[in-house]
């Protein structure tokens, strides 16, 4: 009976979708530990601090979920474009401009009843983010200018544009710092503090707000859009094989534009969390690298909403726990966690096939033994 | 004469500002001609700047700093090759990973080692490159035209400026006039044909990436040990991407890439001059708009007002040898 051979297609799904990503993540975190060691701190102590900072107390946990909210948006943004094989690394700029959309809608329409202002502001964020992604999408599709370079350039341009607006046009003229006036308090999104009172927990301040639910809804939205609609199918077809898609009568131009606009719109929603939910004004540089982190989140989550949720949560832990680490360990700055993101992108994106053959053949061999036993 | 010396100083700064772009564009040509996308020029330039600054600071000699930067950049190029050539990972993802990793790592290590919010200590005169004054530069200064040309434009640059412009004909010669260059281009256009001819595609791509690492190290060292006397956070400021855009605009050719680099350098030199200047009829242009000019120019150039750019045929595709 030893001639029965199980081939690779019989490897259970959880091997390639759970075991392999976990091995890659572990590798990335091990190398990160090495960097912490080089910086002169104890990696094990750092891990303890991260876990305490993100889970140890209710306020910390709320912060973790607040960061998770941001990463869900930017992670989904990258993932949607990636299904069309577009590298939207302009999430940073799209989020920045999206914030402008939230603010302009909210400040000008604040007289409207509250839930309507919220909906319009969310729409404004999406629209502005999408518009900022439209130009690189158009140039990619019509002129072949590589979307990586144009979106990066649009990050720089967005930053210049926003600084210009914040300094010369929409600055709160009573203040020196480049930020706008605060939005009226009636239209702030309710934060976790309000809910925690009902639950009988007392916390002083929490940035976690209703946007978290919007993020969860976005996960469903993207799942439905990409896997359950005709357009999602067309978009994936363009990404997988453009020539075949054209042959099937699918327009690459249309799909590139739609994919990038939805991607930019999702990144723009970060502005809802930051401006309608937390700071209530536009501050210079508020996207603070969340756009780039989205790349790592999406790649770690294998560009699927089911994967992006835990990946965003993990980065929430790293961010919130990381701020605990930077507080306790003088040699570690938040940039160490930028490096960790790079490592996670490297191991779960570019090097995702590093140990896949070995892991898969391990399971193949085990299955063979079971069959032949 | 006022006008003439203004022009001279503008050309002078154009040459200086274009230098890292030229090195990076030449580095990009090697990688991309061999069929490997290299967006990681940005990250490697930043890493080179960091390593060169730290190396010169501890070793007391900028050349040793440069040597360290070369070693580290070649290692990073090999990492890119390991991920995208050997393991056939996505080349763009690998580049993005390297760029983000380096932004984080350089700043984090600078902060950990020197405790100054991502700055390295200022280098003294022995630890950095100084401007080279060509012979007779002072004597010839007063001669009209020749004096301006020789003393004000050609003389008084850092060693990297001269090396950058010398590298262009060298790269041209290697890529277009040697058998190595022929193989390099063939690997990027049609790897299976090259494989059939008995040349190892993987080795060729690794060699191209090694040269790429050496060249990009010069760009970084120029930033941190010549023009500036220390490393600071994200000091490459998108130059790697600008150089890549210049290379694409130059159709993967050293000479035209050089022209594009000079154009970027000129825009940057001009933007520094334009800040705070009142222009007739327009008035003062907002400083943020002027600062964004190189980035806007990149987008405009890439949109290709001189026809669509045709990349090497096999770019971005990992080579899979048939069994």
Which residue segments constitute the domains of chain B, with CATH numbers given?
A: 12-120+150-302 (1.10.3470)
CATH number, domain A68-324 = 1.10.3470
Question: Which of B82, B98, B111 is the mutation pick for testing A, counting most A CBs within 10 A?
Answer: B111
Percent of chain A with pLDDT over 90: 45
- In the prediction, which pLDDT does B312 show? 79
The answer to whether the CB atoms of B97 and A332 lie below 8 A apart is no
The answer to whether the CB atoms of A89 and B296 lie below 8 A apart is no
From chain B, pick out residues whose CB is under 8 angstroms from the CB of A167: 288
Q: pLDDT per residue over B276-300, tens digit each?
A: 666 666 667 778 888 888 888 888 8
Average pLDDT over residues B61-88: 92
The answer to whether the CB atoms of A338 and B100 lie below 8 A apart is yes
Q: pLDDT per residue over B4-24, tens digit each?
A: 777 888 888 899 999 999 999
Confidence of residue B309 (pLDDT cuts 50, 70, 90): low
The answer to whether the CB atoms of A168 and B286 lie below 8 A apart is yes
Q: Does B104 touch chain A (CB under 8 A)?
A: yes
- In the prediction, which pLDDT does B49 show? 94
Task: Indicate where chain A has its CATH 1.10.3470 domain(s).
Answer: 68-324
Q: Which residue has the higher pLDDT, B138 or A155?
A: A155
Three state DSSP letters for chain B: CHHHHHHHHHHHHHHHHHHHHHHHHHHHHHHHHCCCCCCCHHHHHHHHHHHHHHHHHHHCCHHHHHHHHHHHHHHHHHHHHHHHHHCCCCHHHHHHHHHHHHHHHHHHHHHHHHCCCCCCCCCCCCCCCCCECCCCHHHHCCCCCHHHHHHHHHCCECHHHHHHHHHHHHHHHHHHHCHHHHHHHHHHHCHHHHHHCCCCHHHHHHHHHHHHHHHHHHHHHHHHHHHCCCCCCCCCCCHHHHHHHHHHHCCCCHHHHHHHHHHHHHHHHHHHHHCCCEECCCEECCHHHHHCHHHHHHHHHHCCCCCCCCCCCCCCCCCCCCC
- In the prediction, which pLDDT does A1 show? 43
The answer to whether the CB atoms of B101 and A343 lie below 8 A apart is yes
Question: Which of B77, B285, B292 is the mutation pick for testing A, counting most A CBs within 10 A?
Answer: B292
Predicted structure pTM score: 0.87
Q: Does B149 touch chain A (CB under 8 A)?
A: no
Confidence of residue A311 (pLDDT cuts 50, 70, 90): very high
Q: pLDDT per residue over B252-280, tens digit each?
A: 899 989 998 998 898 888 887 777 666 66
Facing B87 at nearest CB: one of A160, A345, A351: A351
Question: Using CB atoms and an 8 Å cut-off, which of residues 113-132 of chain B contact chain A?
Answer: 113, 115, 117-118
The answer to whether the CB atoms of A350 and B102 lie below 8 A apart is no
Q: Which residue has the higher pLDDT, B175 or A349?
A: B175
Q: Is the pLDDT of residue A3 over 60?
A: no
Q: pLDDT per residue over A165-193, tens digit each?
A: 988 888 877 877 788 888 888 888 888 77
Q: Is the pLDDT of residue A228 over 90?
A: yes
The answer to whether the CB atoms of A350 and B298 lie below 8 A apart is no
Q: pLDDT per residue over A17-63, tens digit each?
A: 888 888 988 999 999 999 989 888 888 988 999 999 888 888 888 89
Q: Is the pLDDT of residue B191 over 80?
A: yes
């Amino acid at each position: 009976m030893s001639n029965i051979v199980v081939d690779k297609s019989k490897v259970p799904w959880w091997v390639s979708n759970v075991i392999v990503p976990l091995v890659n993540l572990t590798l990335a975190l091990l190398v990160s530990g090495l960097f912490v060691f080089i910086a002169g701190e104890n990696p094990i102590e750092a891990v303890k601090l991260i876990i305490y900072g993100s889970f140890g107390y209710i306020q910390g946990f709320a912060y973790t979920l607040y960061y998770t909210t941001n990463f869900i948006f930017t992670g989904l943004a990258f993932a949607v474009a990636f299904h069309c094989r577009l590298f939207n690394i302009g999430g940073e700029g799209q989020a920045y401009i999206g914030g402008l959309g939230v603010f302009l809608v909210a400040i000008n329409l604040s007289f409207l009843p509250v839930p309507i202002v919220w909906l319009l502001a969310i729409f404004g964020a999406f629209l502005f983010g999408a518009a900022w992604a439209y130009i690189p999408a158009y140039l990619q599709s019509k002129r072949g200018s590589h979307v990586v370079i144009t979106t990066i350039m649009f990050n720089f341009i967005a930053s210049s544009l926003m600084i210009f607006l914040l300094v010369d046009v929409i600055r709160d003229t009573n203040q020196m710092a480049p930020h706008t006036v605060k939005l009226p308090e009636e239209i702030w999104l309710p934060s976790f503090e309000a809910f925690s009172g009902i639950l009988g927990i007392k916390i002083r301040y929490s940035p976690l707000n209703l946007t978290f639910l919007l993020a969860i809804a976005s996960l469903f939205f993207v799942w439905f859009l990409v896997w359950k609609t005709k357009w999602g199918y067309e978009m994936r077809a363009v990404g997988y094989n453009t020539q075949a898609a054209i042959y099937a009568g699918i327009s690459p131009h249309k799909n590139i534009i739609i994919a990038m606009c939805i991607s930019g719109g999702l990144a723009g929603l970060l502005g809802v969390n930051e401006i309608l939910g937390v700071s209530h004004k536009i501050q210079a540089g508020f996207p603070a690298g969340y756009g780039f982190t989205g790349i790592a989140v999406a790649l770690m989550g294998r560009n699927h909403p089911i994967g992006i949720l835990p990946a965003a949560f993990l980065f929430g832990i790293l961010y919130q726990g990381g701020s605990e680490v930077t507080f306790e360990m003088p040699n570690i700055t938040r940039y160490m966690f930028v490096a960790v993101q790079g490592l996670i992108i490297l191991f779960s994106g570019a090097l995702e096939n590093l140990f896949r053959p070995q892991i898969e053949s391990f399971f193949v061999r085990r299955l063979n033994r079971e069959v032949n036993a | 004469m006022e006008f003439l010396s203004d022009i001279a100083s503008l050309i002078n700064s154009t040459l200086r500002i274009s230098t890292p772009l030229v090195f990076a564009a030449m580095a990009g040509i090697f990688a991309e001609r061999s069929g490997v996308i290299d967006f990681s020029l940005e990250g490697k330039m930043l890493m080179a700047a960091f390593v060169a600054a730290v190396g010169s600071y501890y070793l007391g000699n900028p050349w040793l700093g440069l040597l360290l930067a070369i070693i580290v950049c070649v290692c990073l190029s090999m990492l890119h090759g390991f991920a995208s050539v050997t393991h056939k990972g996505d080349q763009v993802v690998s580049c993005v990973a390297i760029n983000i990793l380096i932004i984080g790592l350089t700043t984090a290590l600078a902060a950990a080692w020197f405790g100054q919010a991502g700055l390295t200590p200022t280098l003294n005169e022995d630890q950095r490159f100084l401007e080279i004054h060509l012979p007779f530069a002072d004597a010839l200064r007063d001669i009209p035209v020749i004096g301006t040309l020789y003393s004000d434009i050609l003389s008084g640059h850092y060693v990297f400026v001269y090396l950058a412009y010398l590298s262009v004909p060298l790269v041209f010669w290697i890529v277009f006039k040697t058998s190595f260059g022929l193989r390099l281009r063939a690997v990027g256009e049609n790897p299976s044909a090259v494989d059939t001819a008995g040349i190892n595609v993987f080795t060729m791509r690794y060699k191209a990436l090694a040269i790429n690492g050496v060249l990009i190290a010069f760009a970084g060292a120029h930033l941190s040990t010549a023009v500036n006397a220390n490393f600071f956070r994200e000091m490459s400021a998108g130059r790697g991407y600008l150089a890549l855009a210049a290379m694409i605009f130059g159709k993967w050719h050293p000479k035209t890439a050089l022209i594009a680099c000079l154009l970027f350098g000129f825009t940057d030199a001009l933007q520094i001059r334009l800040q705070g200047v009142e222009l007739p009829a327009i008035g003062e242009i907002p400083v943020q708009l002027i600062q964004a000019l190189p980035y806007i120019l990149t987008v405009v150039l890439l949109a290709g007002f001189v026809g669509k750019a045709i990349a090497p045929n096999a770019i971005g595709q990992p080579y899979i040898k048939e069994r």
